[in-house]
Structure 1
Amino acid sequence: MRRLKSVVTSAVLAFGALAATAGTPAQAATEVRYVALGDSYASGVGAGHYDSASGDCKRSQLGYPALWAGVHDEYQLTDVSCSGATMADVRANQLSALSTDTDAVTLTVGGNDAQFSSVVQACLTKDDAYCKTATDWMSYYATHQMADELAALYRDIKARAPHAEIAVLGYPQALSATGTCPVIDLGSAKRGYMNDFADALAEGTKAAADKESVTFIDVRDAFQGHGACGSDPWINNLSSGTEVFHPTLAGYIAGYYGELDGAWS
């Protein structure tokens, strides 16, 4: 709890600093050149405070890249993460932000390639058997083909930014095992299938990171006991529209930022 309070305080201070320094020119060459890549979990969907200039990419001033750069003044952030991004989108639209001068890279991607939204929709609208089939199918993809595709993406990142420290942050389990979901309640079977799918995404990401010797940051333990529909959720629940099953501000602070801080500090 002490660590959580400290992280929350740092994040609040960082948000104030970001607002106060908006438009300030980059300072010295001693700054760490940090590039953030990835999908909605990287851009901070669910945290609010979106940069209007980012449009549909919905980059939040309180997503984990902005939090990290706000708290660590030496980091000069270039955030090209974008809600909805797949691995192909990262290659086509984001890798150009990297260079031989890049010092640090973070990335969360793969969920859209594994059809996360479609799997969730299937589990919300179909029966248990259909949910199991959907999650089993895409879990197999996540631990096999996706892992290989991520490994190839990590190689491309290293080729463009050969001197950078690369941290790959995974996905948490979305649902609490107990509690009531608003709008559409989910039984224990569906919750288990969906969390197994989240585990497969994390394990596939870890396998790719291990293969290419980049740092994998597993956020599942940090989010344990804080799934959607539980008593202390760090994941947005079914009443949250397009932010459903994305971390809340507390999730980005205590989960993502907290785990990145543990890995990079």
Structure 2
Amino acid sequence: MRRFTSAAVAALMAFVGMEAGLGATAQAAGEKEYVALGDSYSSGVGAGYYDTASGDCKRSQLNYPALSAAAHADYTLKDVSCSGATIADVRANQLSALSSGTDLVTLTVGGNDAQFASVVEACLTQSDSYCGTATQWMSYYAQNQLVTELAGLYKDIKTRAPQAEIVVLGYPQTVAATGSCGAIDLSSAKRTSMNKLADALAEGTRAASVKEPVTFVDMRATFKGHEACGSDPWINGVDLTDLTSVFHPNLAGYFNYAAALNNVLDS
């Protein structure tokens, strides 16, 4: 699988003219229907280039569904992903986009069910022990109840789109063991706690993909060495002027999400 560094991302964007026209390319007519579901990691929070029509859903024209669709001319993308979406939100507001004619479904979801934003806030503002307790509780949920809830969602997707290939992309570890995180730094203990939650989310999602079989893409190895606060981050650190993007992939991160998805589609 090809990985993209920040410099490579800039060069590739300049080469293909994505800044000017990726949205149109991703929506070009094709023979196959691709429906993108999920939360902020699907919608592209942290990448910028948001479609103003998507409002609070903050769908970026450079999210991984758009980047992957741009690389596959035979797909027509229908992106209904939305920042902040939970499993219940996907079921209530996004599954209606599916049909018997859907050929590909991609999904990243579960982080909001595990209170990702609240846990991040706790770890940024509270003590090491408070952060550790918050991540421990949510890790237990991620490896137990979340598995059942995700498996149920995958089953519902199959019911609505029985012919579709379903690809679930997981969450990476969020923060490097050392390095500055920006305006608010994190202790070693907090970094360890947050990454344990990321591992629990990944393993819970993997378990759900076995329980109700779908293709699972574990993003932890892809992002290893590129977590937030490190020397070559593919995840945004702490920026007090853009709190919604904190610990979400940056543009390089979404290119590498798309590369991982393309590796599945092209294999």
How does the TM-score come out when normalised to structure 2?
A: 0.92
Q: Give unpaired runs (5+ residues) of structure 2.
A: none
Alignment RMSD (CA, Å): 2.0
CA contact (8 A) 1:14 1:70 kept: no
Deviation at 1:213, TM superposition (A): 1.2
Match of 1:74 in 2: 74
1:18 maps to a residue whose letter is L
1:78 maps to a residue whose letter is K
CA contact (8 A) 1:7 1:258 kept: no
Matched, 1:93 2:97: no
In 2, Cα distance between equivalents of 1:19 and 1:38: 19
2:184 maps to a residue whose letter is I
Match of 1:137 in 2: 137
CA contact (8 A) 1:7 1:253 kept: no
Deviation at 1:68, TM superposition (A): 0.7
In 2, Cα distance between equivalents of 1:187 and 1:79: 38
Deviation at 1:241, TM superposition (A): 2.1
In 2, Cα distance between equivalents of 1:214 and 1:21: 28
How does the TM-score come out when normalised to structure 1?
A: 0.93
In 2, Cα distance between equivalents of 1:169 and 1:11: 23
Superposed CA deviations along residues 186-218 of structure 1, whole A, max 9, x for unmatched, are 111110000000010111011001111100011
SS in 2 for 1:4: coil
SS in 2 for 1:76: strand
SS in 1 for 2:185: coil
Match of 2:258 in 1: 257
Q: Give unpaired runs (5+ residues) of structure 1.
A: none
Matched, 1:151 2:140: no
CA contact (8 A) 2:68 2:259 kept: no
Aligned length: 260
CA contact (8 A) 1:11 1:71 kept: no
CA contact (8 A) 1:227 1:235 kept: yes
Matched, 1:224 2:228: no
SS in 2 for 1:167: strand
SS in 1 for 2:166: strand
Match of 1:205 in 2: 205
In 2, Cα distance between equivalents of 1:2 and 1:218: 15
In 2, Cα distance between equivalents of 1:196 and 1:162: 35
In 2, Cα distance between equivalents of 1:141 and 1:14: 43
Deviation at 1:4, TM superposition (A): 2.7
- Residues 1-265 of structure 1 aligned to structure 2 (within 5 Å): 3-4=3-4, 8=9, 13=16, 15=18, 16-19=20-23, 27=29, 31-239=31-239, 240-254=242-256, 256-265=257-266
In 2, Cα distance between equivalents of 1:2 and 1:120: 30
In 2, Cα distance between equivalents of 1:68 and 1:11: 14
Shift in alpha-carbon separation, 1:180–1:7, aligned structure 2, 3 A: closer
In 2, Cα distance between equivalents of 1:113 and 1:21: 33
1:199 maps to a residue whose letter is D
CA contact (8 A) 2:138 2:197 kept: yes
SS in 1 for 2:105: strand
Structure 1 segments, 4+ long, off by >4 Å, are 9-12, 19-22
2:215 maps to a residue whose letter is T
